[in-house]
């Protein structure tokens, strides 16, 4: 007699590994994981710095979601992982049998667009892994952001996975689990520990590691130790966690019928398939109001697709008690309502608070709010001071952002408005972290060609301050600086500083081989930009390059970096008599030699 043990086959599981610098790759990875689970395929979401690269050969299928920062740079979290993959002892068969897919997030305004995704794709293939689909490349310049590429890429991914192994999607790649079956599955659990009034009793009965809500709140975000303010170099970046408008936070709490004084802890329910909850997890009780202030962007971030995708709209409609609101939400979630949804949400950049106020009968449990509200993200600023010139100080150059929507709603940048509203006389603690930027600190003997329109001049203020101090004890190398802005009267940042160094004998003076050149784009009928000024001074630029100068470019990531690079190609071609193609190759060589640096932002 034979006994056959019948074992239920487990469905195939996706491993999604993300490498993020600002959080966008995490958002995309969460979206991929969510869409996989809606099709019946469990997904494991892991940060690349929490993933053992040595275990890759044991994985069946891995989806990589990686961002590119700076001038084709890796996110900080990916550096150890990438170093492991570059080991020479890894053979071309090391990943044989492993399937993978890569989706990159980048900005086509940069020369090395999505460089990290491209080289990761090549390296995985070189090690023997098999690509499931062609890599996807998200572009921040696209009208819909990276999602303009993510949606069609995911569609290809699901069908390719199904063809490779039907176990991924037992009911087919187009089958979707009904939303009503997912509605009771938030990814986080909220535990309540009384209110602030019970705080004293709670401290006495809790473990000895109690640190208090206010202190712990800052630790929610930080994966780094706080750095003293004198540990930075020129060219570094300061990451700032902005404060939110207290009135907006109070309005959100009141709208959602929450108790601001409740002490809570937030826990992921499923560690393997946790999504947005990881960044908001808290191990020690914190006041609910403080948790909202420090983790949930309630009044500045537009929900966009992250908040408005079909499942989320259905979640809102499920909790709507008014029939007309439920129907409107379901219409927005449908393919027929996509255009109207775009008009309602993306063009107007409605905030979470505004959306909730537009649907007053919707009462979402706090667990769902924690999961669905966009996270409050840090903002990165180029440091515009030198530690030699300003001991124990750090200076930022911030443009206060404001604009009008099509329906004339006034919008302002959260961080810039908050910073501008701080009172200098008051002491304010600001959660902030220092990071290495894309602009390495130059040696005083290195000639420089700086291009920094608008607030792109910020790091170069620090460069010049530091070089002026170094120049006292020795003759520092010359500096050419090309600055651009709209109007001389209104936008000429640090005019006195640049002008003083451009005087006879100064670091920016032509007498020393440098120069200071300004393009005011709106002060004459024809528009004049920094690239025009570069071409005007072609011979001087080329002369300084021959003397070993390094080029530093900082500013907007739209067209400026590519326009400046095109201007340098023309200068090299003109001054040497070579073709544009040969000039472009020379410029690539400058990049490889570490003599051409770009730091741009959108």
Whether residue 319 is annotated as binding a ligand: the answer is no
Whether residue 509 is annotated as binding a ligand: the answer is no
Whether residue 391 is annotated as binding a ligand: the answer is no
Whether residue 25 is annotated as binding a ligand: the answer is yes
Exposure string for 124-136, b = 16+ CB within 10 A, e = fewer: beebbbeebbebb
Whether residue 349 is annotated as binding a ligand: the answer is yes
Whether residue 529 is annotated as binding a ligand: the answer is yes
Integer Cα distance of 234 and 244 in angstroms: 29
How are the residues of the chain apportioned to helix, strand and coil, as percentages rounded to the nearest 5? 40, 20, 40
Whether residue 528 is annotated as binding a ligand: the answer is yes
Whether residue 136 is annotated as binding a ligand: the answer is no
Whether residue 250 is annotated as binding a ligand: the answer is no
Whether residue 577 is annotated as binding a ligand: the answer is no
| CA-based radius of gyration for the chain | 27
Whether residue 418 is annotated as binding a ligand: the answer is no
Whether residue 521 is annotated as binding a ligand: the answer is yes
Integer Cα distance of 359 and 261 in angstroms: 25
Distances (CA, A) of 160 to 102, 106, 111, 195: 13, 24, 31, 51
Whether residue 104 is annotated as binding a ligand: the answer is no
Whether residue 130 is annotated as binding a ligand: the answer is no
Whether residue 601 is annotated as binding a ligand: the answer is yes
Task: For residue 140, give the nearest of 72, 67, 71 by alpha carbon.
Answer: 67
Contact assessment for residue 220 and residue 421, using Cβ atoms and an 8 Å cutoff: no
Contact assessment for residue 160 and residue 231, using Cβ atoms and an 8 Å cutoff: no
Upper half-sphere CA count for residue 201 (Cβ side, 13 Å): 7
Whether residue 421 is annotated as binding a ligand: the answer is no
Residues 6+ apart with CB under 8 A from 546: none
Task: Write the Ramachandran bin of 449: left for phi over 0, alpha for psi from -120 to 50, otherwise beta.
Answer: beta
Whether residue 33 is annotated as binding a ligand: the answer is no
Phi (first) and psi of residue 546, to 5 degrees: -65, -25
Whether residue 89 is annotated as binding a ligand: the answer is no
Whether residue 5 is annotated as binding a ligand: the answer is no
Angle ∠(422,423,428) on CA atoms, nearest 5:
70
Whether residue 24 is annotated as binding a ligand: the answer is yes
**What tokens does 515 get?**
């120069």
Question: Long-range CB contacts (< 8 A, 24+ apart) of 559-566?
Answer: 559/109, 560/109, 560/453, 560/456, 560/529, 560/530, 560/531, 560/600, 561/109, 561/110, 561/111, 561/598, 561/600, 562/109, 562/111, 563/529, 563/531, 564/451, 564/530, 564/531, 564/534, 565/111, 566/531
Whether residue 541 is annotated as binding a ligand: the answer is no
User: Furthest-apart CA pair in the chain: how many Å?
Assistant: 103
Whether residue 95 is annotated as binding a ligand: the answer is no
Whether residue 68 is annotated as binding a ligand: the answer is yes
Q: Using the Cα atoms of residue 176, residue 177, residue 179 and residue 182 in order, give the sign of their dihedral.
A: negative
Integer Cα distance of 164 and 417 in angstroms: 51
Whether residue 67 is annotated as binding a ligand: the answer is yes
Q: Which residues are annotated as a binding site?
A: 20-25, 67-70, 140, 349, 379-382, 413-416, 455, 521-522, 527-531, 563, 601
Q: Which residues are annotated as a binding site for FAD?
A: 349, 379-382, 413-416, 601
Q: Which residues are annotated as a binding site for FMN?
A: 20-25, 67-70, 140
Q: Which residues are annotated as a binding site for NADP(+)?
A: 455, 521-522, 527-531, 563
């Amino acid at each position: 007699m034979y006994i056959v043990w019948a074992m239920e086959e487990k469905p195939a599981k996706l491993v999604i590994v993300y490498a993020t610098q600002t959080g966008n790759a995490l958002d995309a990875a969460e979206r991929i994981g969510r869409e996989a689970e809606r099709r019946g395929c469990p997904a494991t979401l892991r940060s690349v710095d929490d993933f053992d690269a040595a275990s890759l050969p044991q994985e069946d299928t891995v989806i990589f979601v990686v961002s590119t920062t700076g001038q084709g740079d890796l996110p900080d979290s990916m550096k150890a992982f990438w170093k492991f993959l570059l080991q020479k002892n890894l053979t071309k068969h090391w990943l044989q049998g492993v399937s993978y897919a890569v989706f990159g997030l980048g900005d086509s305004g940069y020369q090395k667009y999505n460089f990290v995704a491209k080289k990761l794709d090549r390296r995985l293939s070189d090690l023997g892994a098999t690509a499931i689909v062609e890599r996807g490349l998200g572009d921040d310049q696209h009208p819909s952001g990276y999602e303009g590429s993510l949606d069609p890429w995911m569609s290809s991914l699901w069908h390719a996975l199904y063809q490779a192994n039907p176990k991924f999607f037992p009911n087919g790649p187009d089958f979707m689990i009904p939303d009503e079956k997912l509605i009771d599955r938030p990814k986080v659990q909220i535990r309540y520990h009384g209110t602030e009034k019970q705080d004293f009793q709670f401290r006495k009965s809790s473990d000895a590691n109690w640190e208090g809500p206010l202190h712990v709140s800052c630790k929610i975000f930080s994966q780094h130790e706080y750095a003293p303010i004198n540990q930075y170099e020129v060219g570094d970046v300061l990451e700032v966690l902005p404060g939110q408008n207290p009135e907006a936070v109070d309005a959100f709490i009141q709208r959602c019928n929450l108790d601001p004084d409740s002490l809570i802890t937030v826990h992921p329910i499923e560690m393997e398939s946790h999504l947005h909850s990881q960044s908001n997890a808290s191990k020690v009780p914190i006041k609910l109001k403080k948790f909202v202030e420090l983790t949930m962007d309630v009044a500045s971030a537009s929900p966009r697709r992250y908040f408005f995708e079909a499942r989320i709209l259905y979640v809102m409609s499920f909790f709507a008690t008014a029939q007309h609101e439920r129907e409107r939400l379901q219409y927005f979630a449908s393919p027929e309502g996509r255009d109207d949804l775009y008009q309602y949400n993306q063009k107007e950049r409605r905030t979470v608070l505004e959306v909730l106020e537009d649907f007053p009968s919707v009462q979402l449990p706090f667990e769902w709010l924690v999961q669905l509200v966009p996270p409050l993200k840090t903002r990165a600023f180029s440091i515009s001071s030198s530690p030699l010139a300003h001991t124990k100080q750090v200076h930022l150059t911030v443009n206060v952002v404001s604009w009008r929507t099509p329906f004339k709603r006034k919008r302002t940048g959260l961080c810039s408005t908050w910073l501008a509203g701080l009172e200098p006389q008051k002491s304010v603690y600001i959660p902030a972290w220092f990071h290495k930027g894309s602009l390495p600190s130059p040696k005083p003997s290195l000639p420089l060609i700086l291009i920094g329109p608008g607030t792109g001049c910020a790091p170069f203020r620090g460069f010049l301050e530091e070089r002026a101090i170094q120049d006292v004890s020795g003759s520092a190398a010359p500096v050419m600086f090309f600055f651009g802005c709209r109007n001389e009267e209104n936008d000429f940042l640090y005019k006195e500083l640049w002008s003083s160094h451009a005087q006879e004998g100064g670091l920016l003076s032509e007498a020393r081989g440098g120069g200071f050149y300004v393009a005011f784009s709106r002060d004459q009928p024809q528009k004049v930009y920094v690239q025009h000024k570069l071409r005007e001074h072609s011979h001087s630029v080329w002369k300084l390059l021959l003397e070993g100068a390094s080029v530093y470019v900082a500013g907007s990531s739209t067209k400026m970096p590519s326009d400046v690079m095109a201007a340098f190609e023309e200068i090299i071609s003109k001054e040497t008599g070579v073709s544009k193609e040969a000039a472009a190759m020379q410029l690539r060589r400058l990049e490889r030699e570490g003599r051409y640096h770009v730091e741009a932002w959108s």
